[in-house]
């Protein structure tokens, strides 16, 4: 039997608790899908969490995924708070996760296009790199010729750009230009 410690970490209201609930249902661990809006999920159990519809403390739930043969996987799934006031709860979780492949940092408010890049998120990327995080850091939102080098310099290595690419007349040249400017910003940061 394998054990997998999974955590769902994201900004406030991203849908972490709702996703947790869905995974529990799909895995057969619960019979009815709980709802944040009704206040009856399996991980938001504090009275205040149910009343406000937000997660305040991290909570773990476990389910088993049957495998071929006898090697079932037991998943310990941790639902974390997204509100910045409860960041300590999230930091505690980082110590028990088995692996992190990619961290997505949103550089606009999720949900609609055409917003301006929020430079304050660059500090999150730097903090991760300073903590020794070596896997992918992806940045999504407001990336263009001016902001992309700043992200690369901070330590971002995966970039999501929409209007800056699809609004350009020559996609190939635009993408090549972005790649070159990211590479030179990274080289400058290392020097």
Cβ–Cβ under 8 Å, residues 73 and 34: no
**Residue 56: how many CB atoms within 10 A of its CB?**
15
Residue with tokens 């769902």: 8
Q: Decide: is 17 part of the binding site for ligand GTP (CB under 6 A).
A: yes
Closest CA to 145 of 123, 114, 112, 176: 176
Applying CB under 5 A, does 41 fall inside the site for Mg ion?
A: no
Please choose, out of 12-20, 68-76, 106-114, 141-149, the segment that lies near ligand GTP by the rule CB under 6 A: 12-20
90 binds ligand GTP (CB under 6 A): no
Binding flag, residue 76, ligand GTP (CB under 6 A): no
Torsion region of 69: left, alpha or beta (phi above 0 gives left; psi -120 to 50 gives alpha): left
Cα torsion 145, 146, 152, 158: sign: negative
* Beta strands per DSSP E along 80-132: 102-106
From 94, 97, 107, select the one nearest 158 (Cα to Cα).
107
The residue among 55 and 174 lying less far from ligand GTP, judged by its C-beta, is 55
Binding to ligand GTP in span 134-153, by CB under 6 A: none
82 or 155: CB nearest ligand GTP = 82
Q: By CB under 5 A, name the one of 8, 17, 77, 149 that touches Mg ion.
A: 17
Stretch that binds Mg ion, among 10-18, 69-77, 91-99, 113-121 (CB under 5 A): 10-18
C-beta of 36: minimal distance to ligand GTP in Å?
4
Does residue 177 bind ligand GTP (CB under 6 A)?
no
Name, in order, each residue with C-beta under 8 angstroms of 158's C-beta and a sequence gap of 6 or more. Answer: 102, 136, 137, 138, 139
Cβ closest to ligand GTP, residue 36 vs residue 122: 36
Contact call for residue 82 and ligand GTP (CB under 6 A): yes
Summarize as ranges the residues that interact with ligand GTP (CB under 6 A): 10, 12-18, 36-37, 53-55, 81-83
């Amino acid at each position: 039997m394998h054990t997998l410690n999974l955590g769902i970490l994201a900004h406030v209201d991203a849908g972490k608790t709702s996703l947790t609930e869905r995974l529990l249902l799909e895995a057969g661990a619960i019979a009815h899908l709980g709802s944040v809006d009704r206040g009856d999920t399996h991980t938001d159990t504090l009275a205040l969490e149910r009343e406000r519809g937000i997660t305040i403390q991290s909570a773990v739930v476990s389910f088993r995924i049957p495998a071929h043969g006898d090697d079932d996987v037991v998943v310990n799934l941790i639902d974390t708070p997204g509100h910045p006031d409860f960041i300590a709860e999230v930091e505690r979780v980082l110590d028990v996760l088995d692996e992190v492949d990619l961290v997505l940092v949103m550089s606009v408010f999720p949900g609609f296009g055409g917003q301006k890049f929020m430079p304050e998120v660059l500090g999150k990327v730097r903090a991760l790199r300073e903590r020794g995080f070596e896997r992918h850091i992806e940045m999504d939102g407001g990336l263009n010729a001016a902001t992309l080098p700043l992200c690369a310099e901070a330590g971002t290595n995966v970039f999501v750009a929409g209007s800056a690419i699809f609004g350009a007349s020559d996609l190939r040249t635009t993408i090549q230009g972005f790649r070159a400017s990211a590479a030179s910003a990274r080289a400058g940061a290392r020097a």
